[in-house]
Structure 1
Amino acid sequence: MIKSGTSRLKTIVPHRDGHREFVRLWTAASRRVHAYILTMVLNQADAEDLLQEVGVTVWEKFDDYDPSRDFVSWACGVARNKVLSFNQLASQRLVQSRELLDRIEAETWLSSRTLERQQHALQQCLSKLRDADRQLLQLRYTEGISLKQAAHDTGRSLQAMYKLLQRIHLRLFECVTRRLAAGDET
């Protein structure tokens, strides 16, 4: 828990002028760090408390962060230490061994990297769709328009809309699969 008070605040402010960089990195990383913590601490409230502690510690140690390293990996390392301390203090042993913790960490990291690659490939594939197809996807998934409403608005039958959406999904799936198989990161 973060205590308010000027003496505590002075001890957690990094010496270098990295406030904006820290905020940018932590904002991008905090959901993944939270997910990582949840793999080891099954109680949501405990995970949220630990995430706050990790955020404070990462802020305090931001001067030690090496920008050539992946920030999420570094923050997850801090989280791992916090979870180990939490588990040692708590009478329950949610994670029994360091070996298990290492395996969970490796799997979580691999899963998050895979998801990032899939999201990047999907964005690339979406950009290659026809404008009308992209607009239909936006109406359906971003704005929540029903296919029945989209069919009415475009003068198409509901069946035609289902088939069109199915073809778009298939093209996106094939495109993403090809990009991932080719290792296309650009």
Structure 2
Amino acid sequence: MDARIAEMTRLWTLATPLVSGFILSLVRNYQDRDDILQDTAVAVLNSFEKYDKSKPFAGWAIGIARNQILLHFRKTNKNTILLEPSLAESLQQAFSDSSSANNNLDHLAECFKALDPKSKELCKMRYELDMKPASIAEKIEMKANSVAKTLQRIRDELRDCIQRKNKAEFRL
């Protein structure tokens, strides 16, 4: 299997639940849903060279699914799509945003694991125990301003780590 097919397969496998959910949100008939999902998979494979790797794959695949839904209903002369086109576009955007958010949460968990123990403990006190920087400062014998600055550096480090992982994911 060549690298292009392997990458497309990996990305499609990750995106399939989201694409399927998008189709499910617009199409009632389960047989039509299955047909549209299969048609979408074929269309994704056939147009994979057009995919812009700097953008989320799931959002791109959902756009293809939307086109496949419209094409399916044109071909079968069924008009069982339940929503206005503008509402379908809103759903498409919501599903695409959800995909990006899920990726970011997965990356955040990985990045958090890579933090040193002191940083993890500060994050736990601030975000899990909901302690204010002044309370944390008292507990660990630091100045409140130093705690706030350290937390800001940790947030910056986590953000940068997530961005690196997102870039690496789309560079493949």
TM-score range, shorter chain: 0.5 to 0.7
2:68 to 65, 73, 82: 82
Question: Equivalent residue for 1:113?
Answer: 100
Correspondence list, 1:129-148, <5 A: none
Aligned pair 1:48/2:1, yes or no?
A: no
Residues 122-173 of structure 1 deviation map (CA, whole Å, 9 limit, x = unaligned): 4445667x9xxxxxxxxxxxxxxxxxxxxxxxxxxxxxxxxxxxxxxxx599
When the two structures are aligned, how many residues end up with a matched partner? 130
Most deviating of 98-107 and 113-122:
113-122
1:94 aligns with 81
**TM-score normalised over the length of structure 1:** 0.53
Give the letter aligned to residue 96 of structure 2.
W
Relative to structure 1, the CA distance from residue 25 to residue 127 in structure 2 (aligned partners, 3 Å threshold; closer, same or farther) is same
Runs of 5+ in structure 2 lacking a partner? Answer: 118-123, 131-150, 162-172
Give the counterpart letter for 1:66 in structure 2. Answer: D
TM-score (norm 2): 0.57
What does 1:1-186 correspond to in 2, within 5 Å?
A: 18-88=4-74, 89-125=76-112, 174-175=127-128, 184-185=158-159, 186=161
What's the secondary structure of 2:53's corresponding residue? Answer: coil
Asked which structure has the greater RCO (Cα within 8 Å, sep 6+), the reply is: 2
Greater helix proportion = 2
TM-align CA RMSD: 3.6
| Divergent runs of 4+, >6 A | none
Structure 1 stretches lacking a partner, 5+ long: 1-15, 131-170
Please give the secondary structure, in 1, of the residue aligned with 2:80.
Answer: coil
Query: Contact 1:54–1:79 at 8 Å: present in 2 too?
Result: yes
CA distance in 2, matches of 1:17, 1:126: 30
**Contact 2:19–2:65, Cα closer than 8 Å, also in 1:** yes
